[in-house]
């Protein structure tokens, strides 16, 4: 995963400041976790896979995955 992040951000784009890099990393992680479907988890996004696991085995989690969604959590 570290190589994937490095290739998608640091090696591909030049950032002038740490704030710009933080923004770029946050955007990449949001796209990866909520939009990219992975073959290794049967075509689900990482977030969908976590939600599916949470519904079948909730005792494995301290917090529900809804607390990890970006935006307002009410």
Q: What is the pLDDT of residue 39?
A: 92
C-alpha to C-alpha distance for 6 and 29, rounded to whole angstroms: 12
Q: What is the pLDDT of residue 69?
A: 67
C-alpha to C-alpha distance for 15 and 9, rounded to whole angstroms: 9
Shared-domain flag, residues 63 and 46: yes
Its domain, for residue 41, covers 37-74
pLDDT tens by residue, 2-56: 888 888 887 888 888 999 988 988 888 888 888 889 899 999 999 899 889 988 9
CA atoms 50, 8, 22, 70: torsion sign: negative
Shared-domain flag, residues 14 and 43: no
Shared-domain flag, residues 41 and 51: yes
- Cα torsion 16, 20, 25, 31 to 10°: value is -120
- Total domains present in the chain: 2
C-alpha to C-alpha distance for 16 and 53, rounded to whole angstroms: 40
pTM of the model: 0.64
């Amino acid at each position: 995963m570290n190589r994937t992040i490095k290739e998608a951000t640091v090696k591909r784009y030049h950032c002038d400041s740490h704030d710009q890099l933080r923004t770029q990393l946050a955007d990449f992680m949001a796209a990866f976790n909520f939009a990219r479907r992975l073959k290794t988890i049967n075509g689900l996004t990482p977030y969908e896979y976590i939600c599916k696991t949470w519904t079948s085995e909730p005792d494995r989690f301290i917090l529900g995955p809804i607390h990890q969604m970006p935006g307002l959590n009410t």
